[in-house]
């Protein structure tokens, strides 16, 4: 960990949410390429984890069920298709089962929930089954990351977490679900380290 990066995080009782965070961003260029690549490796482990990747799926708009409790990865049960709206408006709205609540504590096999409307990520943010190089290229491409530079990616994580959105939920998923690797605070810090190192990408 870089000592120059300071995270001030207030962890809420509701579920390890990053309720109030202020990350002192490192100077651009102050992080070595090697440290940036190492940070990206950790980011890759997070974004391809089932808590994150299951709803970062492609143009078929079908969320996935994968992770230790599922064995082989499979499409979401119940014939679910979130449609081009990515919120299920064309078929069954995600929110029919995934209600909006700051209380992440659901039973195993119940529908998980978080503090903003449940939905698939935009189709251009596809992570499920993608390689390191593909995800790295997507994350740094403003055309495919919501128009964000690296500082705005950090802000995006902090903002979503402050709303008890999926970024907070990923590390406190409830119901015996496996959380994303390490901690939310480390993930935010890694996004900053990778950015300050010039967002280096792996080859393969």
Rounded CA-CA distance 175/108 in Å is 4
* Listed residue (107, 106, 126) closest to 55, CA to CA: 126
Toward another protein, which CB reaches closer, 4 or 100?
Answer: 100
Site string for another protein, 100-139 (x = CB under 8 A): xxxx--xx-xxx-x--------------------------
32 binds another protein (CB under 8 A): no
Rounded CA-CA distance 54/50 in Å is 5
Q: What radius of gyration do the chain's Cα atoms show?
A: 17
Question: Could you tell me the smallest distance in angstroms from the CB atom of residue 179 to another protein?
Answer: 20
Toward another protein, which CB reaches closer, 111 or 163?
Answer: 111
Considering only residues 75 to 94 of the shown chain, the ones binding another protein according to CB under 8 A are 77-81, 89-93
* Listed residue (95, 55, 98) closest to 76, CA to CA: 55
Strand ranges, E, within 3-147 = 7-11, 18-23, 64-65, 74-75
Question: Could you tell me the smallest distance in angstroms from the CB atom of residue 14 to another protein?
Answer: 12
Helix, strand, or coil here: 107?
coil
Beta bridge partners of 9: 21
Toward another protein, which CB reaches closer, 2 or 95?
Answer: 95
Rounded CA-CA distance 11/20 in Å is 8
**Residue of 73, 99, 116, 163 interacting with another protein (CB under 8 A):** 99
Toward another protein, which CB reaches closer, 75 or 198?
Answer: 75
Question: Could you tell me the smallest distance in angstroms from the CB atom of residue 67 to another protein?
Answer: 17
Residues that bind another protein (CB under 8 A): 77-81, 89-93, 95-103, 106-107, 109-111, 113
């Amino acid at each position: 960990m870089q000592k120059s990066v300071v995270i001030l995080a207030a962890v809420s009782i509701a579920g390890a949410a990053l309720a109030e965070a202020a990350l002192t961003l490192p100077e651009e260029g102050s992080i070595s390429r090697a440290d940036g690549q190492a940070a990206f490796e950790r980011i890759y482990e997070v974004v391809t984890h089932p808590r994150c990747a299951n709803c970062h799926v492609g143009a078929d708009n079908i969320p996935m069920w994968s992770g230790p409790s599922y064995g082989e990865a499979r499409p979401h049960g119940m014939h679910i298709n979130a449609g081009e709206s990515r919120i299920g408006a064309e078929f069954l709205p995600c929110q029919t089962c995934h209600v909006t609540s700051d209380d992440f504590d659901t039973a195993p096999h119940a529908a998980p929930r978080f503090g903003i409307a449940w939905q698939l990520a935009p189709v251009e943010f596809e992570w499920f089954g993608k390689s390191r190089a593909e995800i790295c290229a997507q994350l740094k491409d403003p055309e495919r990351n919501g128009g964000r530079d690296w500082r705005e990616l950090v802000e995006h994580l902090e903002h979503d977490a402050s709303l008890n959105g999926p970024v907070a939920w990923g590390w406190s998923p409830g119901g015996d679900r496996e959380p994303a690797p390490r901690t939310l605070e480390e993930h935010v810090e890694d996004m900053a380290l990778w950015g300050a190192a010039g967002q280096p990408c792996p080859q393969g």
